[in-house]
């Protein structure tokens, strides 16, 4: 989870930087250091050692004390649904953006990695087609997988557009609600072809030393030193079945079935957007907030959330068409005497938002967390989601993943220099 860095904080820190401080930093930055160096190419071991010695001599640094070299460890987020919000500071910025991050299997498990890769391949085109092509929510729409260190894999679904972030996330939820059936009905022949395509790409010969180095740096950076990682994944790919993909979906992503459901919604709000207050989020469901945001965007008038909630409660007995007609008369379009109809700008978004408010999808049943995040200033929405108000405080309450265990034995070279050992 990487938070947004406020521009105001960067400006504040830059204002404290002096020329003298920069010069001092240049003089002391390599006074003590720890470094990893990869030598790739047609080199004998002695030549690689010689190259490392030359780098050490040029930098002329002392060995960094062990207590100062702290390996990175990933935060192991406690199961639950979390929201991180940030308001943009540029008044000319019109776009909002969201990323829904689902924490899935472990990056150290080849089956989890390959199953996630197949899941993303199946989901990303349909996700783009639904939210970008059909709903036209923005130009930056996509689904991908990511991982950090020895932690968990993530499925990231992102949308950037002018609609309010609550509505964008509601549309992601709508996609998730219907995607399981897509997996159930997915053609097995097409699935086999997809596996062969990924295997073929993985087996492609590297065309440059740079590409070879980049591939080798991944296991070094992660601390596994598993240089057979790609071969392990190819072997795992050939064993993965469509049922495994469906199982991963149900175990980690499907809010109706996931036992240890872990999700973080990152929201970037445009400066001019109608930003829900903490009171709004603890009083009204997200479907009401999403609909209100769409209405305010099209009518350019404030929407009373209490009145809108009352309208939804009375409209549930109506058909969708009748409810939309009633809403159109109650909230006329901006700069127009004409009521909302199918030709009006934003009609489809308001229709979708109204449908979601009248027929909310089943949410994950959030159990009471072992950690009461209210002690660090966080609060819960009506649906039981925790809103992160201070990222650093939140991270401090979470456990950490262990360090990666090398899959091969690292054998120190007998040649040592400047208190450093060649491996």
**Average pLDDT taken over every residue of the chain:** 87
Q: pLDDT exceeding 90 applies to what percent of the chain?
A: 49
User: pLDDT at position 2, please?
Assistant: 46
pTM, whole model, 2 decimals? 0.87
Predicted local confidence at residue 321, as pLDDT: 87
Q: What's phi and psi for 230, nearest 5 deg?
A: -65, -40
Strands (E), 125-261: 140-147, 152-161
Q: What is the pLDDT of residues 140-151, one digit of tens each?
A: 999 999 987 778
Number of H-type helices and E-type strands within the chain: 15, 13
pLDDT at 365: 55
**Average pLDDT of span 85-96:** 88
DSSP 203-232: TPPP-SHHHHHHHHHHHHHHT---TTHHHH
Is the pLDDT reported for residue 245 higher than 50? yes
The predicted pLDDT at position 366 comes to: 53
pLDDT, mean of residues 283-303: 92
Average pLDDT of 214-232? 86
Asked if 275 and 230 count as a contact pair (C-beta separation under 8 A), the reply is no
Confidence label for 364 from pLDDT (cuts 50, 70 and 90):
low
In 3-state terms, what secondary structure has residue 311?
helix
Please, which residues have CB within 8 angstroms of residue 155's CB and are 6 or more apart in sequence? Answer: 101, 102, 104, 116, 119, 120, 123, 143, 144, 145, 252, 253
**Is residue 48's pLDDT more than 70?**
yes
- Kind of pairing, strands 262-269 and 32-33? unpaired
Q: At 6, is the pLDDT very low, low, confident or very high (cuts 50, 70, 90)?
A: low
* Chain-centre distance for alpha carbon 137: 18
Place 194 in a pLDDT band, splitting at 50, 70 and 90.
very high
Q: State yes or no: pLDDT of 76 exceeds 60.
A: yes
* Average pLDDT for 294-311: 90
| pLDDT, average across residues 391-396 | 90
For 151-165, the pLDDT digits (tens) are 899 999 999 999 999
142 pairs with which residues across the strands? Answer: 158
Q: What is the pLDDT of residue 283?
A: 97
Sequence-separated (6 or more) residues with CB below 8 Å from residue 140: 97, 158, 159, 160, 161
Q: Kindly tell me if the per-residue pLDDT of 335 is higher than 50.
A: no
Confidence of residue 346 (pLDDT cuts 50, 70, 90): low
Report residue 128's pLDDT band, with 50, 70 and 90 as the boundaries.
very high
Instruction: Give, in order, the Cα–Cα distances in Å from 60 to each of 26, 32, 66, 388, 418.
Output: 13, 9, 18, 44, 9
């Amino acid at each position: 989870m990487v938070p947004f860095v406020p521009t105001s904080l960067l400006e504040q820190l830059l204002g404290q930087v002096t020329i003298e401080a920069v010069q001092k930093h240049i003089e002391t930055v390599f006074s003590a250091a720890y470094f990893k160096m990869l030598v790739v190419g047609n080199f004998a071991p002695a030549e690689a050692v010689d190259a490392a010695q030359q780098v050490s001599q040029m930098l002329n640094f002392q060995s960094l004390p062990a207590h100062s070299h702290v390996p990175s460890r990933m935060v192991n987020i406690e199961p639950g649904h979390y929201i991180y919000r940030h308001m943009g500071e540029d008044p000319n910025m019109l776009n909002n953006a969201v990323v829904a991050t689902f924490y899935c299997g472990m990056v150290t498990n080849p089956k989890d990695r390959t199953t996630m890769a197949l899941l993303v391949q199946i989901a990303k085109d349909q996700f783009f087609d639904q939210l970008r092509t059909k709903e036209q929510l923005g130009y930056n729409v996509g689904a991908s997988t990511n991982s950090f260190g020895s932690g968990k894999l993530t499925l990231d679904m992102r949308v950037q557009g002018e609609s309010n972030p609550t509505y964008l996330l509601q549309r992601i939820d709508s996609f998730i609600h219907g995607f399981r059936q897509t997996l159930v009905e997915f053609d097995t022949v097409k699935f086999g072809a997809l596996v062969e395509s990924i295997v073929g790409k993985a087996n492609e010969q590297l065309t440059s030393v740079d590409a070879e180095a980049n591939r080798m740096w991944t296991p070094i950076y992660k601390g596994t030193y598993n240089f057979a990682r790609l071969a392990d994944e190819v072997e795992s790919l050939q064993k993965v079945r469509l049922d495994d993909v469906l199982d991963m979906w149900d175990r980690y992503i499907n809010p109706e079935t996931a036992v240890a459901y872990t999700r973080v919604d990152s929201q970037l709000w445009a400066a001019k957007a109608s930003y829900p207050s903490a009171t709004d989020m603890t009083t009204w469901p997200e479907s009401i907030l999403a609909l209100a945001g769409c209405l305010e965007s099209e009518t350019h008038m404030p929407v009373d959330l209490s009145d809108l909630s009352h309208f939804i409660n009375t409209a549930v007995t109506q058909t969708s068409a009748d409810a939309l007609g009633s809403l159109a008369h109650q909230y006329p379009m901006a700069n127009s005497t004409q009521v909302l109809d199918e030709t009006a700008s934003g009609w489809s978004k308001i229709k979708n938002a109204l449908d979601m408010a009248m027929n909310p999808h089943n949410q994950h049943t959030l159990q009471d967390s072992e950690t009461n995040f209210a002690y660090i200033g966080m609060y819960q929405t009506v649906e039981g989601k925790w809103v992160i108000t201070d990222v650093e405080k939140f991270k401090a309450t979470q456990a950490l993943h262990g360090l990666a265990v090398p899959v091969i034995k690292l054998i120190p070279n007998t040649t040592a220099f400047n208190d450093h050992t060649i491996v």
